[in-house]
Amino acid sequence: MIDIKLIRENPQKFKDAAKAKGFDVDIDRLLEVDSGLRTAKKQLQDISTEKNQIGKSIPKLDGVEKAAKLNRLLELKEIEILINANIKTLQPEFDELVLFVPQPADDDVPFGKDDTQNVEIRREGKVRQFDFEPKDHVQLGLALGIIDIERGVKLAGTRNYFLKGDGALLHWAVLRFAMDFMVDKGYVPFSVPVLMKDETMTGTGFFPGSEDQTYRMEKDQLNLSGTAEVPLTAYHMGEILNAEELPLKYVALSSCFRREAGAAGKDTYGLYRIHQFDKIEQVVICKNSVEESNKFHAEILANAEAVMQALELPYRVANVCTGDLGRGQAKKFDIEAWMPSRNNYCETHSASKLYDFQARRMNLRYKDPATKKNVFCHTLNNTVIASPRILIPILELYQNADGSITVPKVLRPYMNSVGNRITKK
């Protein structure tokens, strides 16, 4: 959520931000409602002052003067009722409109309409050149008996799957390695709930806007979270933290659920765009400082890159353009792994910097020791690893001519007695 004072000072900035990000926001109406509320609240203050003055004067009056003052009190009460009715109408409209106002992108974010206009920053690792005809991850998985999409679809519908045997072990090995890596980095590990209240989804910026992408439990008024960013970031919702506690660095492994509404016919093959997956997410809650946010943005990106480098997967980093940013994101870096079957670098991680956008919505603050005032925190988040999407480059890039899969070195300690290769049983 954006501080309304900033919108009042420079409405054009937020109109431009909405246009650049592709959001439809009525800034003029928001300011009109805001003005009406401010006027109404000022009127209530003035009435309260006058009522207090009358109340103090009445004991000293009698006769006509006293009667006039009592009549004036009745008039003021009637005016109060009308003003409060006006506020009751305007406040919900204000509360709704302000939630739609997007965070302006940082100055160094490229302007663009969608992900095709994201700007590559650098490439890391060497793309493998095969001396045989490589198979895609589905062909490999079926031949090895480690992926079963047909039965996943039969039991749960499209974009569902089974991982079994060594496929399940590889999936868990990736997650366990990444979690151990982050714990060694000093991040506090969490096991989190995945059913979230609407309040939590709104606080983290997913509502309004992502309802269509969310599995909603209408009967229980709960939502299946699409990322552990939601429970981790909202863990301290409504609290006032001590400045000495910051930064808070958290990491969680959770199952994630996404409806993929609007993606009909897109990426339907294999494990790339699915309804349920497991992801390790890192979240940082830090002081209200652009410098601090920039520092931790670089840190969480570096953490994810280190995991990719440990897996020896080629990837590139992209600066995400304005049209591909979410409502609350001031800047985002995507990591895209090379996937041979797609003949392209494809997104596997997103590192987001949100300043105080989420904290304002969640009322998450800390007490500044210098000013003794409560200040909104800054929040950041990034994928550490998400599986089974990351299995696509692992299976495809580590395949051998005989159809077996070489297990990445860092994952071998997590693969029980599988050994160095996954072969058909």
| Residues assigned a catalytic role | 258, 273, 347, 350, 389
Q: How far is Cα 130 from Cα 148, in angstroms, rounded to an integer?
A: 26
- Which of these, 343, 408, 335, lies nearest to 130 by C-alpha position? 343
Which tokens go with 414?
């997590």
Crossing angle of helices 137-144/166-184, nearest 10°?
Answer: 120
Rg over alpha carbons for the chain, rounded to the nearest Å, is 27
Strand partners, 235: none
Secondary structure (3-state) at 231: helix
Q: How far is Cα 58 from Cα 162, in angstroms, rounded to an integer?
A: 80
Residue 30 contacts residue 94 (beta carbons within 8 Å): yes
Question: Which stretch of DSSP H or E encloses residue 255?
Answer: strand 248-257
Q: How far is Cα 2 from Cα 99, in angstroms, rounded to an integer?
A: 8
Side chain identity, residue 322: T
Crossing angle of helices 27-57/11-21, nearest 10°?
Answer: 140
Sign of the alpha-carbon dihedral angle for 210, 215, 220, 225: negative
Q: How far is Cα 165 from Cα 142, in angstroms, rounded to an integer?
A: 12
Which tokens go with 334?
């995507």
Q: How far is Cα 417 from Cα 285, in angstroms, rounded to an integer?
A: 40
Residue 159 contacts residue 273 (beta carbons within 8 Å): yes
